[in-house]
Chain A
Amino acid sequence: MTSVNLPSDSAGNTVTAPETQTDAVAAPSKKSQHEVLYFALRSKKFIFAVAVLGFLVLLAIFGPIIDSNDPLAQTLGVNTPPSTDPGYWFGTTTFGEDVFAQFVNGLRATFFVGLLGGGIASLIGMSIGFIAGYKGGWVDELLNMVTNVFLVIPTLALLLVISSYLQRSWPEARGVFFESIFVGVTAWPWAARAIRAQTFSLRSRDFIDLAKLSGRRGLKIIVFEIAPNMSSYLMLTFILLFGNAILIAASLDFIGLGPTSGMSLGLMMFNAVSWAALLLGTWWWFVPPGLGIMATVGALYVMNVGLDEIFNPKLREL
């Protein structure tokens, strides 16, 4: 789900307002960085999330090296349950494909989509949010309208139409790379909205006025004054977009618009359902990919809460 953790406009200002500290208006000092580290190392949620993600990343990196089977090679025994035999760790599919090889390769794709898709979405969301919130006036009105339009268009439905045409007319574009771009280009609206609200509340603060008075240009003020002051918020936004991109891509793959070459976790589930894994009871075909996505996205969400508590003293429980 999209914005579960980010407080919306009405409560949002609590994330950046450093009112509980002293009147430090300047950018985060050394001391508060220390404080962040201190709490990060004590946050069970954060450490748990880092551990889970770290494990999955290692699996994605080294998995395909340990098990060098081609995920699409139909060379093994058919519908074999998991065993300790090489190539059979997670069992095989109806076509004799190595499920473990598919899983670790799919995991790679998953992180790729999250990183690229989430990154693109963050970039667009930040640009629009900063400009709208900082400029105000008609620029804000216009960008707000654009944001609202893209906010209500269901992303998946839009991607559905785009991808389905691509499938026929430009099959080369049906890879994880383009999928990530499409996901990124459609997943930004709520982030733009949240960042706009934050920027808006920062805009009227003293240090921004000071920067304006000293003749700094708008872009510089955004990059050097506003962005650093909401860096924690931006980080949380990226984490959520990362997770959302993964979920959207998985749905797309599952509907049958996944990469035609290569492997993804969504595609594994699509294949499992298409080839009646449910009726055959070959659970090892569809359990790992979903579990992988759930673990990845769940860890990202938990990391998000953990970081939120680290950055925002009001949320910490003493």
Chain B
Amino acid sequence: MRRYFGRKLLTYAITFFIAATIDWLIPRLMPGDPIAGMMQRTGGGSTLSPEASAAMVQYYTNLFGLNRPMWEQYLGFWTSLFHGDLGLSIFGHGRAVTDTIMAAVPYTLGLLIPAILLSYWLGNSFGAVAARRKWLDNSILPIGYLLTATPYMWLGLMLAYIVGFTFRWFPLSGGYGFNLEPALTWLFISDLIAHWFMPFFSLFLVMLGGWAIGMRNMIIYELESDYSRYLEALGAPQRLVRKYAFRNAMLPQITGLALQLGVIVAGALVTEIVFSYPGIGQLVFNAIKSEDYFLLQGIFLFIIIGVLAANFIVDIVYVIVDPRTRVAMRGGTA
């Protein structure tokens, strides 16, 4: 058990190390001098107060101080990273990048977690029911393929246009109404949910198709497997055969969830942009517009950490669900 998780954690640690190093390296590898460009902009101080601007110039000089040797720059990068210091944000008017991101994270998680869980559950159920049943298969399969092939942002756009613009059932953009202040009131919460619904639903729909198709294909392989044939040879009813096939098809689907996390996060980012939903995606959009590289780099690290953590959770779930890994582990430690 320890070996298994040790190995996984090592991979994640290496991944984080590499990702962080890339994060550090990119601005230094790029042709030209992005930092000079940035200094120029901040020097101009279009969106910053003079003090914040001065602080930022100071910060760049410290961090990028290109007169210092590379290894020293690199070490300095890790030191500030461990202090949770990702620099200051231009877009956030000189606020710390960490704080700017933390303010957006709850919105993104609030979209992602319910959308993933619900689509995963429903999609797998649909897929399992559809497999090897002509009529259902012929209707669920094409819908599923259309949904997975749909770019996240486009489904969002269509929903926004039809439900939000034409019928005006839900608000088109934002996290909550402009006229409201965050508070624990019924009015605010209902407004929050109204704004949340469309981005959530659009994310949910695209994912739903993917899970349904994945499960449908997996379960067909399982229904052809030896243990299914044996059960049928012994006259077991389809109910039992399908139940076993479903359980075993679930395992690769769990791995599939881990593999899809990156794509899902990307989907959430662009969906937020469509709805101007104040999560990480909207932050990315604004950071790019205002060429706020510190913010972008910080977001990159944040996403990596989030995806790694989610991967680790999936690993744990997998061990709980698949007896074979447990057995192999017992054998390994015995």
Contacts and interface: CB of A to CB of B under 8 A. Distances in A.
Interface stretch (A64-72, A201-209, A215-223, A254-262): A254-262
A290 B266 contact: no
27 contacts: A2-B259, A3-B256, A7-B217, A7-B218, A8-B256, A9-B252, A10-B251, A152-B258, A153-B262, A154-B262, A156-B262, A161-B23, A164-B291, A164-B296, A165-B26, A168-B37, A168-B291, A169-B31, A248-B266, A256-B289, A269-B154, A278-B164, A279-B165, A290-B158, A296-B149, A302-B145, A314-B224
A2 B149 CA distance: 10
Given A255-B273, A314-B224, A157 B146 contact: no
Given A151-B259, A157-B304, A294-B151, A145 B11 contact: yes
B280 to A, nearest CB: 10
Where chain B touches its partner, the secondary structure class is: helix
A161 B308 contact: no
Contacts, number: 215
B30 A169 contact: yes
A306 B153 CA distance: 27
A92 to B, nearest CB: 18
B213 A4 contact: yes
A294 B150 contact: yes
B124 interface: no
A46 interface: no
Given A2-B263, A157-B265, A286 B300 contact: no
B98 interface: no
A3 B273 contact: no
B154 A290 contact: yes
A8 B149 contact: no
Contacts of A315: 220
Contacts of A151: 259
A279 B172 contact: yes
A53 to B, nearest CB: 12
A250 interface: yes
B270 A255 contact: yes
Interface centre among A1, A166, A170, A289 (most CB of B within 10 A): A1
Interface in A229-270: 243, 247-248, 250-251, 254-257, 266, 269
Interface of A: 1-5, 7-11, 14, 145, 148-149, 151-158, 160-162, 164-170, 190, 243, 247-248, 250-251, 254-257, 266, 269, 272-273, 278-279, 281, 283, 286-287, 289-291, 293-298, 300-302, 305, 314-315, 317
Contacts of B224: 14, 314
Size band of the interface chain B makes with A: 35 or more
Nearest to B249: A11
Contacts of A293: 149-151, 154
A11 B220 CA distance: 10
Interface stretch (B14-22, B45-53, B108-116): B14-22
A256 B149 CA distance: 21
Where chain A touches its partner, the secondary structure class is: helix
Interface string B150-176: 111111011011001110000010000
A217 B261 CA distance: 39
A257 B18 CA distance: 23
Nearest to A169: B32
B93 to A, nearest CB: 20
A1 B31 contact: no
Contacts of A14: 221, 224
Contacts of B251: 10
Give the 5 A-B CB pairs with smallest separation, nearest first. Answer: A290-B154, A154-B262, A298-B149, A169-B32, A156-B266
B278 interface: no
A256 B274 contact: no
Nearest to A287: B158
Interface of B: 11-12, 14-15, 18-19, 22-23, 26-27, 30-34, 37, 134, 141-142, 145-146, 148-155, 157-158, 160-161, 164-166, 172, 207, 210, 213-214, 217-218, 220-222, 224, 251-252, 255-256, 258-263, 265-267, 269-270, 273-274, 284-285, 287-289, 291, 293, 296-297, 299-300, 303-304, 307-308, 311
B15 to A, nearest CB: 5
Contact of A152 (B148, B252, B308): B308
Contacts of A157: 262, 265-266, 299-300, 303-304
Contacts of A8: 252, 255-256
B221 A11 contact: yes
A254 B304 contact: no
Nearest to B214: A4
A145 B11 CA distance: 7
B238 to A, nearest CB: 16
Interface centre among A157, A291, A297 (most CB of B within 10 A): A157
Contacts of B297: 161
A170 B172 CA distance: 36
B146 A294 contact: yes
Given A251-B267, A286-B157, 13 more contacts: A3-B260, A152-B311, A153-B18, A154-B262, A156-B263, A161-B22, A167-B291, A278-B161, A286-B154, A293-B149, A294-B154, A295-B149, A298-B148
